[in-house]
Amino acid sequence: MENEVFKVTGGSRLSGQVHVPGAKNSALKLMTASLLAAGTTQLENVPDIADVEIMAELLTRLGAQVNRDISNSTLEIKVPENIGHRADYDLVRRMRASINVLGPILARCHEVDVALPGGDEIGSRGVDMHIAGLTKMGAEFNSDHGYLIARAPKGLHGARIWLDIPSVGATENILTAAVLAKGETVIENAAREPEIVDLCLMLNKMGAQISGIGTNTISIIGVTKLTATTHEVVGDRIVAGTWAVAAAITQGEVTVTGVNPTHLQIPLEKLMSAGAQIEIANDSFTVRMTQRPNPVEIVTLPYPGFPTDLQPQFIVLNSIANGAAMVTENLFEARFRFTQELARLGADLQIDGHHCLVKGRLQLSAAPVEATDVRAGAALVLAGLIADGVTVVSGVSHIDRGYANFVSNLTSLGATIERTRESI
């Protein structure tokens, strides 16, 4: 059997400029939001990543016609008057963000069947807030043969919804349902990630009436109809943050363009504490590092706190720092699973619940490792950049889910990396 791998030879200093595409976590939600209006939605600055393909397939099965032009990063989605209402398991299991069709389909069709992502049951931790919010708006939920089934025969109505924690997915599903509901919905303790702001901006262009955008209280006055629009996806702050860490750990100098640096305020401050010099411009920033990093304490929190999606990359930074630091993961405990792989590269890591104590080593030591999720995968490639020898990262399909042209971008910055096939 053959397996695609990245072979990374450590020791290069990264320098140059890299452009980040639109954010995965925005593009996917904007794609689902296109279902809210019959007509042609045009998305620009869409990243060339595997998850966009999966979402395009899902929309196609729902009756939309999706045309992707990779050469100019655009996506045209033609949505018919009547759309399907079922999201199949084979797609949902490949991409959890498929759950984001829940709000738009329920709003348009008043019925939706979405396969539950693996391990989830009705009312379980993963989607309980989505269900509670939509139930308050008049939907009735059941689960049947692995599918979450929602019906709102009388349509949805506005409601006051308090989220226990500011969940990104729950905020988005409630928002996309509320835009076509009768009356006013208020989401309190809403998530306010830049990708949610992007979604609200597109919805308002479509004719929605959303206020409180970017705050933790969002109010939505439902309208009867939305109109398809054109929208440019916000730059990917997580990809940008990944390049920033890559520059810092290789003691390089990299300018990252295509992102709003204010979306990365805390991670960039952490890099400064690690010893990096950062220059900020309007839609770009430069990271320059000339020393071994200082250790930096990290606590992940909903935006504007430190993003959990950059936690693995900062563990890599701490693994070669000149001291020890604690990294606390408050959103997804499973995110520490990748540390077992990082330990194979010689990193000194002690896990205790949702804390990881990282003791910096002078250098990591190359070994074969396996990517288990998109951010862990990127972090393991970064670790390979600072390991002695050739690190072979398998499971690259995870990295393809979120990073467009990862290898060619790294190569253009001076890294030695190739994508190849290996027998296993």
Nearer to ligand UD1, 293 or 306 (CB): 306
Shortest distance (Å) from residue 388 CB to ligand UD1: 31
Shortest distance (Å) from residue 25 CB to ligand UD1: 3
d(CA 257, CA 283): 6
SS3 at position 21: coil
Shortest distance (Å) from residue 70 CB to ligand UD1: 21
Nearer to ligand UD1, 162 or 348 (CB): 162
Shortest distance (Å) from residue 59 CB to ligand UD1: 16
DSSP E strands, 127-252:
140-144, 147-151, 160-162, 184-188, 209-211, 217-221, 230-232
**Residue length, the chain?**
424
Nearer to ligand UD1, 38 or 49 (CB): 49
Out of 69, 88, 90, 120, the active site residue is: 120
Nearer to ligand UD1, 75 or 97 (CB): 97
User: In terms of Cα–Cα distance, which of 129, 148, 136, 141 is closest to 190?
Assistant: 129
Instruction: Let me know: does 289 contact 276? Beta carbons within 8 Å.
Output: yes
> Of all residues in this chain, which one has the CB nearest to ligand UD1 in the complex?
169
Shortest distance (Å) from residue 98 CB to ligand UD1: 9
Nearer to ligand UD1, 161 or 249 (CB): 161
Known catalytic residue: 69?
Answer: no
Nearer to ligand UD1, 66 or 129 (CB): 129
Residues paired with 306 in a beta bridge: 300
- Provide the binding-site residues for ligand UD1, judged by CB under 6 A: 25, 28, 97, 125-130, 165, 167-170, 191, 308-309, 331-332
The separation between the first and the last C-alpha atoms of the chain, rounded to the nearest angstrom, is: 6
d(CA 240, CA 263): 10
Tokens of 217: 């209280």
Shortest distance (Å) from residue 181 CB to ligand UD1: 19
d(CA 171, CA 166): 7
* 3-state helix/strand/coil string of 27-67: HHHHHHHHHHCCEEEEEECCCCCHHHHHHHHHHHHCCCEEE
Residues paired with 184 in a beta bridge: 221
Instruction: Let me know: does 190 contact 218? Beta carbons within 8 Å.
Output: yes
Shortest distance (Å) from residue 37 CB to ligand UD1: 22
Q: How are beta strands 184-188 and 217-221 bridged, if at all?
A: antiparallel
User: In terms of Cα–Cα distance, which of 210, 202, 146 is closest to 181?
Assistant: 210
Measured in degrees and rounded to the nearest 5, phi and psi for residue 346 equal: 95, 0
Separation in Å, CA 195 to CA 24, 29, 258? 9, 8, 15
Nearer to ligand UD1, 165 or 281 (CB): 165
Q: Which residues are catalytic?
A: 120
